[in-house]
Amino acid sequence: MTAVQIVFLAVAALTLAAAVMVVSLRRMMQSALALILALVGVAVIFALLGSGFFAVSQVVVYIGAIAILIIFAVMLTQNSMSPEHSQMNPGFLYAALGSALLFSSLVFILSMWVGFYAIPVNLDPSVDTITVLGLSLTDPQGFALPFEIVSVLLLAALIGGIYIARDHHRD
Amino acid sequence: MTFWTDPIGLLDAWLFAVLTGWGLPADVSRIILYILGGFVLATGAMVFTVFLIWLERKLIGRFQDRFGPNRVGPFGIFQTVADMLKIFTKEFITPDGADLIPYNLAPILSVAGVLFVWAVLPFAINMLGVNLNVGVLYVVAAGAIGELGMILAGWGSNNKFALIGAFRAIGQMISYEVPMILTLLVPVMFTGSMGLNDIVKAQNPWFVVVAPLAAFIFFISQVAENARAPFDLTEAESELVAGFNIEYSGLKFGMFYVAEFLHAFTISVLFAVIFLGGWLGPGAEKYPWLGLLYTMIKTTVVFFTILLMRAGLPRFRIDQVMDLNWKLFTPLAIGILIVTAVVDKSLALFTPTIRVLGLLAANLVMLLVTLRFLKIFAQKKRRPLVVPSASTELPDDISEVLL
C-alpha cells in the first residue's frame, strides 16, 4: 500500500463519517459543519486525483458560497427540530433496505465495467489540465453549447433574484 | 545548486536524502517532507506575527503622536513577547449556552484561512511553497475559510453582539469578494495563468501601471476583507462592544488577534506579488535572496499604507460600506474587466509601449467617467431635504433670529 492510498483511505473514511453525521447530529448548526467537513473531504480527494482546479473550485463554491448560505439559513430557522423527537421516519427500515439494494446493484453493474479494476495512471505532467478544460468549454466541437446554456440559466437566476428582492410597495 | 541560488531546493534534497537514508520509501519521505514544510511555513508565519504586532503598534503610535510600546527591551521590541506570555496563562472562559463545536473551531479556522495563503506566496523565484496552477482561485478559497471562522464565532458565542458582528461579516466580506475576484481576473487575463509565480514573471511592466484602477479596487476590497479600520464593522467597539470575538478569552482571543495582524501583512504581500511585480528586480532571477529583499520592500510600502489608513480614517457606517461595494466597485470592476480585455486584445499587435499607453488611457477615461457619475450622484444626494413652503415666512434678517 502506497502512502497516497493510506491518505486516500483516511480521507474517504472521514468524508463518509462526516456525511453520516450530517443526518444524525441533533443540532442543525453542527450538521451544517459536518456537511462542510464532508465537502472538504471531497476537495481533498479531487486534489489526490491531481485535479487542483476542481479541488479549489469545490472549496470556493461549496464552502465559500453554499455552506455559508446554509449556515445563514440555519441561523434564521432556529428550533426547527426539537431534541425529543425521533430522527427516524416510521418506515426507515424499508428505506434502508431499498438504498442498500440500489447501492449493491450499482456496485454489481459497475464491477462488470473494465475501468472498475483499472489502476489509475498518472496524468502527463506536460499537459496543463486547466488549459484543456478551458479550451473544451469554449470549443464548438466540445462543450460550448452546454456552457452557454448554463450561463443563460445563471443570468436568469440573477435577474429573478433581483426582481424578488426589489421593494414592490414603493412603485 | 548552492545556498545562495536555491536554499529551499538544497534543504529539501538534503532532508530527502536523510529520510531515504533511514530506509523510508521515497513516497513516504516525500509526504513527510510536505508535512514538515507546511509545519515550518505555518510556524514561521505565526512567529513573524510577534514582530508584526510590535511594528504595527509602534507605527500606529507614531501616527497618533505617542510613543507606542517602549518599556520592554530596546524600543519596546519584547512587548509582544510579554503580551504573548500573559495571554498563554489566561483562563479560557466558555459562555453559558455556547455551541461548543463552532465556538472552539472558529479561532482555528480564522488563523488557518490566513496561513493557507502562505502556501502559494512567491517570496522569490524559488522561495515558495508551491506554484499552484490555480493559485489565484486558491487565495479566494482560503479567504472563504477565514470568513467561516468569523461566522462560527458569532454564532457559537450565544451573544447578540457577536451575532450582529457575524451578520455584518457575512454582508461585508462576501460582498467585497465580488469586486475582488473581478479585478483579480485582470492580472490573470494579462498572464494567461492563475499561478502566482507565473503572474510575477509576466509583469513587464508592473500590472499596477497597466491596470491602476483594478489595483486600487483590489487593494480596497482586500482591506475590507481583512475587516480592519475603516472597514472594521464586524468589531465596531462603539456599536458592538467587541463584535464577533466578544466572548473569547485567553489564547482563543489571541488567535483572532494573530489572524487579523497576519492577514494585514498577507494582503500586503499579495498586493505586492500580483500588482507590484513581486520579487522582480535587477538580479533577482539569479540571486533569490535579492528577490526576497525586493518583495519585502514592496510589501512594506503596501503595509505602511494599510496602517496609515487604519490610523487616519474614521469607521464607515454599514450602509456606506455596502453602497461603496455594490453601487461603485462592482459595476466599475465589471467595466474595467470588459474595457481592459477589449483594449488589450485590440492593441496586442502593436509595440508594448503603445499597448501600455493605450491601457493607461483606457484607465484614465474610466476614472473620469466614474468621477463624473459620482459628482452627479453627490449633487442628487445633497438636494435640500426640507423645502420651505410658501406659508413659512422667512425673517428678513437672519441675525435677528439668532439673537
Which ipTM was obtained for this model? 0.72
> Per residue, what are the HEC states of chain B?
CCCCCCHHHHHHHHHHHHHHHCCCCHHHHHHHHHHHHHHHHHHHHHHHHHHHHHHHHHHHHHHCCCCCCCCCCHHHCCHHHHHHHHHHCCCCCCCCCCCHHHHHHHHHHHHHHHHHHHCCCCCECCECCCCCCCHHHHHHHHHHHHHHHHHHHHHHCCCHHHHHHHHHHHHHHHHHHHHHHHHHHHHHHHHCCCCHHHHHHCCCCCHHHHCHHHHHHHHHHHHHHHCCCCCCHHHCHHHHCCHHHCCCCHHHHHHHHHHHHHHHHHHHHHHHHHHCCCCCCCCCCCCHHHHHHHHHHHHHHHHHHHHHHHHHCCCCCHHHHHHHHHHHHHHHHHHHHHHHHHHHHHCCCCCHHHHHHHHHHHHHHHHHHHHHHHHHHHHHHCCCCCCCCCCCCCCCCHHHHHC
Residue type present at position A143: F
Among B17, B119, B190, B122, CA closest to A47: B119
Q: Is the pLDDT of residue B206 over 90?
A: no
C-alpha Rg value of chain B to the nearest Å: 25
Buried b (16+ CB within 10 A) or exposed e, A23-56: eebeebbbbbbbbbbbbbbbbbbbbeeebbbbbb
pLDDT at residue B251 in the model: 85
Residue spans per domain, chain B: 1-89, 90-379
Q: Is the pLDDT of residue B265 over 80?
A: yes
pLDDT at residue A149 in the model: 92
B33 lies within 8 A of chain A by CB: no
- What does the alpha-carbon distance between residue A147 and residue A47 come to, in Å, rounded to a whole number? 24
Say whether B138 and A65 touch across the interface (CB within 8 A).
no
- Chain B residue with the nearest C-alpha to that of A33: B102
Say whether B27 and A2 touch across the interface (CB within 8 A).
yes
- Largest Cα–Cα distance of chain B, in whole Å? 100
Residues 13-32 of B with CB under 8 A from A: 25, 27-28, 30-31
CA distance to partner chain B, nearest, from residue A123 (Å): 15
Task: Tell me what the mean pLDDT of segment B362-376 comes to.
Answer: 88
Say whether B31 and A128 touch across the interface (CB within 8 A).
no
pLDDT at residue A16 in the model: 92
A60 lies within 8 A of chain B by CB: yes
- Chain A residue with the nearest C-alpha to that of B30: A3
Q: Measured between beta carbons, which residues in chain A are less than 8 angstroms from residue B196?
A: none
Q: Is the pLDDT of residue B45 over 80?
A: yes
Neighbouring-strand partners of residue B124: B127
pLDDT at residue B63 in the model: 87
pLDDT at residue B396 in the model: 62
- Chain B residue with the nearest C-alpha to that of A61: B141
pLDDT tens for each residue of B121-135: 888 777 777 777 788
Q: What is the mean pLDDT of chain A?
A: 83
Say whether B148 and A63 touch across the interface (CB within 8 A).
yes
Among B258, B278, B295, CA closest to B114: B258
Coil, helix or strand at residue A48: helix
Are B325 and B168 contacting, i.e. CB atoms less than 8 angstroms apart?
A: no
Q: Count Cβ atoms within 10 A of the Cβ of residue B351 and give its class: 0-12 exposed, 13-18 middle, 19 or more buried.
A: exposed
Q: Is the pLDDT of residue A158 over 80?
A: yes
The beta-carbon neighbor of B133 closest among A3, A52, A60 is A52
A116 lies within 8 A of chain B by CB: no
pLDDT at residue B116 in the model: 87
Q: Is the pLDDT of residue B403 over 60?
A: no
Say whether A7 and B31 touch across the interface (CB within 8 A).
yes
Task: Tell me what the mean pLDDT of segment B291-310 comes to.
Answer: 88
Q: Measured between beta carbons, which residues in chain B are less than 8 angstroms from residue A52?
A: 132-134
- What does the alpha-carbon distance between residue B152 and residue B140 come to, in Å, rounded to a whole number? 19
pLDDT at residue A171 in the model: 54
- What does the alpha-carbon distance between residue B11 and residue B8 come to, in Å, rounded to a whole number? 5
pLDDT at residue B46 in the model: 85
pLDDT band at A99 (very low <50, low <70, confident <90, very high): very high
Q: Is the pLDDT of residue B22 over 70?
A: yes
Are B9 and B1 contacting, i.e. CB atoms less than 8 angstroms apart?
A: yes
Task: Tell me what the mean pLDDT of segment A107-133 comes to.
Answer: 78
Say whether A52 and B30 touch across the interface (CB within 8 A).
no
Question: How many Å from the N-terminal Cα to the C-terminal Cα in chain B?
Answer: 86
Task: Tell me what the mean pLDDT of segment B368-372 comes to.
Answer: 89
pLDDT at residue A152 in the model: 94
pLDDT at residue A101 in the model: 95
Q: Is the pLDDT of residue B262 over 80?
A: yes
pLDDT at residue A83 in the model: 64
Measured at the alpha carbon of residue B127, what is the angle toward residues B123 and B133, in degrees to the nearest 5? Answer: 85
pLDDT band at A79 (very low <50, low <70, confident <90, very high): low
Please list, in sequence order, all residues whose beta carbon lies within 8 angstroms of the beta carbon of residue B126, skipping any fewer than 6 positions away: B6, B8, B9, B288
Residues 12-41 of A with CB under 8 A from B: 27, 29-30, 33, 36
pLDDT tens for each residue of B218-248: 999 988 888 777 887 777 777 777 778 888 8
pLDDT at residue B277 in the model: 82
| Alpha carbon separation from B303 to A137, B272, B296, B397 (Å, rounded) | 40, 10, 10, 54
Task: Tell me what the mean pLDDT of segment B303-327 comes to.
Answer: 85
Residues of chain B with pLDDT > 70, as a percent, come to 93
Q: Is the pLDDT of residue B382 over 70?
A: no
The beta-carbon neighbor of B27 closest among A4, A33, A64 is A4
- What does the alpha-carbon distance between residue A77 and residue B244 come to, in Å, rounded to a whole number? 20
pLDDT at residue A17 in the model: 93
Q: Centre a 10 Å sphere on the Cβ of residue B207 and count the other Cβ atoms it contains.
A: 24
Tell which of B134, B193, B196, B198 to mutate to test the A interface (max A CBs under 10 Å).
B134
Q: Measured between beta carbons, which residues in chain B are less than 8 angstroms from residue A72?
A: 170
Q: Is the pLDDT of residue B387 over 70?
A: no
Q: What is the mean pLDDT of chain B?
A: 82
Neighbouring-strand partners of residue B101: none
- Chain A residue with the nearest C-alpha to that of B134: A53
The beta-carbon neighbor of B133 closest among A27, A67, A128 is A128
Identify each DSSP E strand in B287-365 by its residue range.
none
CA distance to partner chain B, nearest, from residue A52 (Å): 7
B112 lies within 8 A of chain A by CB: no
pLDDT tens for each residue of A41-50: 998 888 888 7
A133 lies within 8 A of chain B by CB: no
pLDDT tens for each residue of B148-188: 888 888 888 888 888 888 888 778 888 888 899 899 889 98
Tell which of A4, A56, A74 to mutate to test the B interface (max B CBs under 10 Å).
A56
| Alpha carbon separation from B276 to A10, B4, B187, B294, B338 (Å, rounded) | 42, 24, 11, 10, 22
Are B182 and B337 contacting, i.e. CB atoms less than 8 angstroms apart?
A: yes
B99 lies within 8 A of chain A by CB: yes
- Among A7-16, B92-101, B246-255, the range with the most confident prediction by mean pLDDT is A7-16
Residue A148 main-chain phi, psi, to 5 deg: -65, -40
Neighbouring-strand partners of residue B127: B124
Residue A63 main-chain phi, psi, to 5 deg: -90, -45
Q: Is the pLDDT of residue B385 over 80?
A: no
Q: Is the pLDDT of residue A54 over 90?
A: no
pLDDT at residue A155 in the model: 93
pLDDT at residue A122 in the model: 72
